[in-house]
Amino acid sequence: MTDELLQAYDDQLRREGEVGTADELVLHGPLMWAVFDHGGFVTYRDLAGTEGEALDVLIEETVAHYRDDTTVASFEWKSRGHDLPADLGDRLVAHGFEAEPVETVMIGEASLLAGDVPLPEGVVVRRVGEGGDLRDDVTRMLAAQESVFGGGRGPSVDSALAELAGGDSESWIAEVDGQVVCGGRLTVVPGTDFAGIWGGSTLPEFRGRGIYRALVAARARSAVERGVRYLHSDCSDMSRPILERSGLRAVTTTTPYVWTR
């Protein structure tokens, strides 16, 4: 089953599945060079056997494109643990990229996560804009996520609002006394069996109470209502056990390599 999930991931979620909302998109060999308002992004289904000196040239051309033809401050080359060649990461680092922490790619049936999760007293989980002002909800959610993740590479408020307006994305928050303590997105990938759960972040002082699990369940129920079969997520070591207990499987790893001016 894991092999089938990995094949579906490669076939449906890479390349076009990752750049549907890009502001700019350039095809170059096996790569797609995308630009979003928060930076650049390199995606591909595989590298078509490119290795050795030819791979160095491809990396050099990619750096030159973002350095000379765009105004982005940084861009991400998102590798996967099953990508070939095995020395891709070393070659990216040699060209000035920095590796970010390895995450686990998890996939499973949305219905497995869609059960009811008891909420701690005083915690409210809701979709942004329902029961509150949409822009204010999004602004507060992004600020909370920024305080957890840092880095400044997340979407802007206007970009997040535009994505929500497109209809394929939802954002959900958990609040305590009006404070956003956890937030995350559900993004349906058109033309596929998948939706992604992204940005799940809980303020440190509110962890260990089941709030993140409740937010996952709320997004999963919405995904099921939308006819989504599979959920996928790039998980940290903190969130992976929660999703594993819900029935998701680890299919590969992902390491973002980031180039910065």
Is the pLDDT score of 186 beyond 80? yes
What pLDDT is attached to residue 147? 85
Contact 114, 217 (CB under 8 A): yes
Residue 156: its pLDDT value, please? 85
* CB under 8 A, 24+ apart: contacts of 205-213: 206/176, 206/181, 206/182, 209/120, 209/123, 210/117, 210/118, 210/119, 210/120, 211/119, 211/120, 211/123, 211/125, 211/174, 211/181, 211/182, 212/182, 212/239, 212/242, 213/117, 213/242, 213/246
Q: Are 80 and 92 in contact (CB under 8 A)?
A: no
Q: What is the pLDDT of residue 152?
A: 61
Measured distance CA(43)–CA(103) in Å, rounded: 17
| Res 151: pLDDT | 59
Tell me if the pTM is above 0.85.
yes
Q: How is domain 109-252 classified at the CATH fold level?
A: Aminopeptidase (3.40.630)
- The predicted pLDDT at position 20 comes to 84
* Residue 154 binned pLDDT confidence (cut-offs 50, 70, 90): low
Amino acid at 205: E
pLDDT tens track for 39-96: 999 999 999 999 999 999 999 999 999 999 999 999 999 999 999 999 999 999 999 9
- Is the pLDDT at 178 greater than 60? The verdict is yes
Amino acid letter, 203: L
Kindly list the domain boundaries of the chain, sorted by start residue.
Answer: 2-104, 109-252
Q: What is the CATH number of domain 2-104?
A: 3.40.630
Average pLDDT score over residue span 210-227: 95
Asked whether the predicted pLDDT for residue 127 surpasses 80, the reply is: yes
Domains 2-104 and 109-252 share a fold: yes
Tokens of 56: 């160095």
pLDDT at 159: 87
Q: Give tens-digit pLDDT for 11-44.
A: 999 999 899 889 999 999 999 999 998 899 999 9
Q: Is the pLDDT of residue 198 over 70?
A: yes
